Amino acid sequence: MVKDMIEFQEDMNIPAELIPKCPKCGNPMTMNLRSDDKFVEDEGWHRAAERYDDFLQSHKGQHVLFLELGVGYNTPVIIKYPFWKMAAQNPNAVYACLNYGEAYAPDEITQQSIFLMEISVRCRKSYKMTKECRIIRHS
């Protein structure tokens, strides 16, 4: 199914008939995003959150890369703001933001930040990738 989505996508859109359907109600499936009351926080989610917290605690003060990939301002309190806070509290940390047109960090951490902007990736039917990237490093 994913291969079909890649093959038949055009301008980052896939044909409606390729969107998976819920086996119970037949409605189109959606991403598990914190955009409404349907976000799933099951036992597996809580175990993963605990592992993440354990990782952060065991690497506090060490060289850590906080890599933010395409996080917008829909729910910045989940990734963006915590990454900024943790980078500010750890002088050994690097905050890297890859976000088309929205790569930014507060003044307090720009010296330890990397911004990757204006990314364009085009999938071809042969599944080869071409990339263009502009990297800005504040020093």
Nearest to 98 by CA among 74, 116, 82, 119: 116
Distance CA 2, CA 66 (A): 29
pLDDT tens per residue across span 95-137: 999 887 788 899 999 999 998 875 444 433 443 444 444 444 4
Half-sphere exposure of 95 (CA within 13 A, CB side): 28
Q: What are phi and psi of 86, to 5 degrees?
A: -65, -35
Strand 113-123 with 129-137, pairing: antiparallel
pLDDT tens per residue across span 39-92: 888 999 899 999 999 999 999 999 999 999 888 787 788 899 999 999 999 999
β-pair partners for 69? 98
